Amino acid sequence: MKNFLSHGHTLTFTNGSGSDLASGAGYLQGAIFGVCADAVANGAEGTLNLSGTYELPKTASQAWAVGAKIYWDGSEATTVDTDNTLIGVAAAAVGSGATETLGAVRLNGAAA
């Protein structure tokens, strides 16, 4: 098909966050959320993975159930939807203890 561009699992982006991004960091480009495939210096181009399941930093005070809607607040994953962008669903249950700061998120692969 002549007009096919890609499967849409990745997106090339320019890091405009004001700081360097580590490999595995979550990043919101407009309404599209992805996880950095590699480290990306501020102002440099990189690749975002838009689909798959990733361990991301989460709000420690929140417990997640499998299938709960997960949002991005700019620095971590949360179940709070107000002023945040839907990025996917919880892929595993996780508690709300102070040390439970990571959660498995299945990305929705779509723009919010």
3-state secondary structure of 87: strand
User: What are the structure tokens assigned to 105, written together?
Assistant: 């998120």
Query: What are the boundaries of each domain within the chain?
Result: 10-108
The answer, as to whether pTM is greater than 0.85, is: yes
What count of residues does the chain have?
112
In the chain (112 residues long), the average pLDDT of successive 10-residue segments reads 87 96 96 96 98 96 97 96 96 94 92 62
Long-range contacts of 54-58 (CB under 8 A, 24+ apart): 54/24, 54/26, 54/104, 54/105, 54/107, 55/102, 55/103, 55/104, 55/105, 56/26, 56/102, 56/103, 56/105, 57/26, 57/101, 57/102, 58/94, 58/100, 58/101, 58/102, 58/103
> What is the predicted pLDDT for the residue at 112?
59
